[in-house]
Amino acid sequence: MQEILLKSKIHMATVTDKSIEYMGSIGIDLELMEKAGIKPNELVLVADVSNGQRFVTYTIPEKRGSKKIVVNGAAARLVENGDKVIIMAFAMYEEGEYKGPKVLIMDEENNVTEIREGI
């Protein structure tokens, strides 16, 4: 039996911009995506810690090193610049295969302060 479990998480990132006119997605600094093991166009669940909103979308890469977290499309109505968000990616695992998620802990400027694996 396969189970859907948390693969990666970017914890307490700060929303840097939003664009209602864009067709959808969440833009994430490519460097952060690679560190977290999140791919372009991957399905993610986003939880806004600042207001309690949650939404599902897909990822697009922002410029490497830009530290951008940009919410686009309809979901842009659910966040404000400066909001803290948790970005979660999931995967399917066979029994005994799962070793725990990779978690990036972020600071106020979207710098990685800690990487936890297998927690």
User: So which residues are the catalytic ones?
Assistant: 25, 58
Cα(40)–Cα(33) distance, rounded to whole angstroms? 8
Cβ(70)–Cβ(79) below 8 Å: no
Cα–Cα nearest to 35, from 111, 119, 108: 111
Cα(13)–Cα(32) distance, rounded to whole angstroms? 10
Cβ(86)–Cβ(104) below 8 Å: no
Q: Which tokens hold the place of 41?
A: 């166009």
